[in-house]
């Protein structure tokens, strides 16, 4: 047991290529900070190695399975849960050595707002990604492991586009990029000469999400209308068979190796808790497929459909609507919208037990694909960023009004829930359209848009939000910042704001100030409640019983004010 109260958790783990060692990270009280330990797989005992003050990157093993890289910071001199982070560094830790002697392989103290990671693992080539924000483009560089750090050769620079490396075969690096391809393409680099070429061009409709190497070819993951599909291909990019994963699903995990032709995948949907697939491929051909049973209870009986509404600018905005199986749509029902709309993160038909509970209780669940998300490529993402962020909120209002107009629900039966950037969505919707909601539940939300960049890792979100220190950005951020748009004398709907006292990603000050402002301004007797979980953070590493209790409170609050019995 990591702790008596269950608030220490393993948040990253990486097995060495030879299978002998496990490097794993432990977070305390929900913090993003983690301490890396190393465990001997055969004995189950931890080695003396301890690497502190690491964040973000999982350990990446180096050739020989006796060293790995970590992204580390100097120990904080002030409040480790609130102070803005300085420059980090990528370091190599040798097993059995003191972490204080770890070798630095990349750092940029002159550019402290920078992240770096080496990926993918390869025994010959070291591939370095550097970026300056949560959803920004990245640079790409490479060198051989036996070359000195200063021998890095730039493949891409300028951070104008995304370059997601997926594997190395010989001297060829495979990457997924949105350069000249808003729906992404599969590109390759010759690591010796730096030559780049396209293997699989941009699809006319679907978004290329990821790719994986097998011993004989590639497996490509695509998003089609916010659901997932996968397709086999040759190393030359010739597309072949579709993997039989089913329709209307999310690929929640996929694992391959360049030493075998076996593909392991897990899918789920709003009506399927999860299906595990084992597939044999040969280049672009699928040879065999079998599924494994998923333990646990079956998903509640429900139906999932798509609606499409017209946004404020005439663009079509889709949404998933999940109903109880016995709902014929004849009577408006209590309805919960679960939204996000940011950072190129898609909202797919993935099974979430806590949201399925709402449907099982008789409510309707709506998951919109708002701009800012990653469902339809980089253009869709950028259409909801910076000065265009208001469009995300307008997309939400279009979906909500459509639900009311078509009789799915009514204003007094409609609740809104979102976390993190989704908490910003909920906070903005609460202050801009308070009359539209029966209840609003902003969770761990970014609610002060003028100071978010001054705490911990908040500066990384400038890539999506803009920089409050810039006059032009300040103006549009001030126009929708939930904290700064609370008005005295307004009748705000019942609101439950939640945060954790160890949240060092979106610091709890956002929620504390927003709750105080709303309570001071509230002109009706509708409750404005604040729940602060102790020994909890942004959500990572939270004990399952604590997470279940938090969501139960939120759903009970929404159910009470929407009439769900």
> What separation, in Å, do the N-terminal and C-terminal C-alpha atoms of the chain show?
39
Residue 29 has pLDDT above 90, yes or no: no
pLDDT-derived band of residue 534, with 50, 70 and 90 as boundaries? confident
Band the pLDDT of 354: cuts 50, 70, 90: confident
Residue 313, pLDDT > 70, answer yes
Reply yes or no on whether the pLDDT at 518 is more than 90. yes
d(C-alpha 561, C-alpha 496), whole Å: 11
Least confident piece of the model among 180-194, 221-235, 542-556: 542-556
What single-letter DSSP state applies at residue 208?
E
- Domains located in the chain, CATH noted: 1-118 (no CATH), 302-562 (3.40.50.1820)
User: Given this model, what pLDDT does residue 295 score?
Assistant: 83
What is residue 1's predicted lDDT score, i.e. its pLDDT? 60
- Mean pLDDT of the 25-39 span: 88
538 is catalytic: yes
Q: Which helix (H) or strand (E) holds 497?
A: strand 495-500
- Say which residues have a Cβ less than 8 Å from residue 167's Cβ, sequence separation at least 6: 120, 122, 173, 174, 211, 212, 213, 258
Give the tens place of pLDDT for each residue, 393-409.
999 999 999 999 999 99
Choose among 228, 187, 193: nearest CA to 374: 228
pLDDT of residue 541: 64
Question: Does position 108 have pLDDT exceeding 90, yes or no?
Answer: no
Question: What string of DSSP letters covers 406-429?
Answer: TTS--GGGEEEEEETHHHHHHHHH
Per-residue pLDDT, 134: 67
- Rounded (5°) CA angle 340-431-403: 55
463 annotated active-site: no
In sequence order, the 6+-apart residues with CB closer than 8 A to the CB of 498 are: 441, 442, 443, 444, 511, 530, 531, 532, 533, 550, 553, 554
| 254 phi-psi bin (left φ>0, alpha ψ -120 to 50, beta other) | beta
C-alpha span between 339 and 321 (Å, rounded): 12
Taking only the tens place, the pLDDT of each residue in 242-291 is 999 999 999 999 999 999 999 999 999 999 999 999 999 999 999 999 99
Active-site residue, selected from the candidate residues 58, 250, 420, 511: 420
As a whole number, mean pLDDT of residues 521-535 equals: 94
Residue 5 scores a pLDDT above 80: no
**C-alpha dist (Å) from residue 150 to 146, 171, 189, 421:** 12, 20, 20, 38
Is pLDDT at 128 greater than 90 in this prediction? Answer: yes
Is residue 137 within 8 A of residue 131, CB to CB? The reply is: yes
* Percent of the chain at pLDDT exceeding 70: 99
Partnered with residue 21 across adjacent β-strands are 40
CA-to-CA distance for 440 and 297, rounded, in angstroms? Answer: 30
**What tokens does 116 get?**
């770096």
């Amino acid at each position: 047991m990591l702790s008596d109260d269950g608030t220490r958790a393993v948040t990253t783990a990486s097995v060495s290529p030879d299978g002998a060692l496990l490097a794993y990270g432990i977070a305390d009280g929900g913090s993003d900070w983690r301490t890396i330990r190393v465990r001997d797989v055969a004995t189950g005992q931890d080695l003396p190695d301890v690497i502190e003050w690491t964040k973000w990157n999982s350990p990446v093993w180096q050739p020989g399975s006796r060293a790995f890289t970590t992204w580390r910071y100097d120990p904080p001199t002030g409040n480790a849960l609130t102070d803005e982070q300085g420059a980090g560094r990528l370091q190599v830790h040798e097993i059995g050595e003191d972490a204080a002697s770890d070798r630095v392989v990349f750092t940029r103290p002159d550019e402290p707002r920078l992240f770096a990671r080496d990926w993918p693992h390869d025994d010959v080539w070291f591939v370095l990604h550097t970026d300056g924000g949560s959803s920004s483009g990245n640079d790409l560089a490479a060198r051989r492991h036996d070359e000195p750090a200063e021998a890095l050769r730039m493949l891409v620079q300028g951070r104008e586009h995304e370059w997601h490396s997926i594997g190395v075969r010989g001297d060829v690096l495979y990457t997924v990029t949105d350069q000249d391809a808003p729906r992404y393409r599969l590109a390759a680099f010759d690591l010796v000469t730096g030559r780049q070429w396209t293997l699989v061009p941009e699809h006319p409709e679907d978004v290329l999400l990821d790719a994986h190497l097998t011993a004989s070819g590639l497996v490509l993951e695509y998003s089609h209308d916010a659901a997932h599909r996968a397709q086999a291909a040759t190393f030359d990019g010739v597309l072949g068979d579709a993997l039989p994963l089913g329709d209307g699903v999310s690929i929640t995990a996929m694992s391959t190796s360049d030493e075998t032709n076996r593909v392991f995948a897990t899918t789920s949907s709003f009506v399927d808790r999860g299906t595990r697939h084992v597939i044999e491929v040969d280049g672009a051909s699928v040879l065999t497929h079998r599924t494994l049973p998923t333990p646990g209870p079956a998903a509640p009986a429900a139906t999932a459909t798509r609606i499409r509404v017209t946004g404020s600018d005439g663009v079509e905005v889709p949404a998933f609507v999940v109903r109880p199986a016995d709902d014929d749509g004849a009577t408006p029902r209590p309805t919960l919208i679960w939204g996000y709309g940011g950072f190129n993160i898609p909202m797919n038909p993935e099974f979430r037990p806590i949201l399925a509970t709402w449907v099982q209780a008789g409510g309707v669940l709506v998951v919109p694909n708002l701009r800012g998300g990653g469902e339809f490529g980089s253009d869709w993402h950028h259409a909801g960023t910076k000065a265009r962020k208001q469009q995300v909120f307008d997309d939400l209002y279009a979906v909500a009004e459509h639900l009311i107009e078509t009789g799915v629900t009514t204003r007094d039966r409609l609740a809104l829930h979102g976390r993190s950037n989704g908490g910003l969505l909920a906070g903005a919707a609460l202050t801009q359209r308070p009359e539209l909601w029966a209840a609003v539940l902003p969770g761990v939300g970014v609610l002060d848009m003028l100071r978010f960049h001054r705490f911990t890792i908040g500066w990384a979100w400038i890539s999506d939000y803009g920089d409050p220190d810039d006059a032009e950005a300040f103006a549009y951020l001030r126009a929708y910042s939930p904290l700064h748009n609370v008005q005295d004398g307004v009748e705000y709907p019942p609101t439950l704001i939640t945060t954790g006292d160890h949240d060092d990603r979106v610091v709890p000050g956002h929620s504390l100030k927003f709750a105080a402002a709303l309570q001071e301004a509230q002109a009706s007797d509708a409750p404005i409640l604040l729940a602060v979980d102790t020994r909890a953070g942004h959500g990572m590493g939270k004990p399952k019983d604590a997470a279940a209790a938090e969501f139960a409170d939120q759903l009970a609050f929404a159910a009470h004010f929407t009439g769900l019995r």
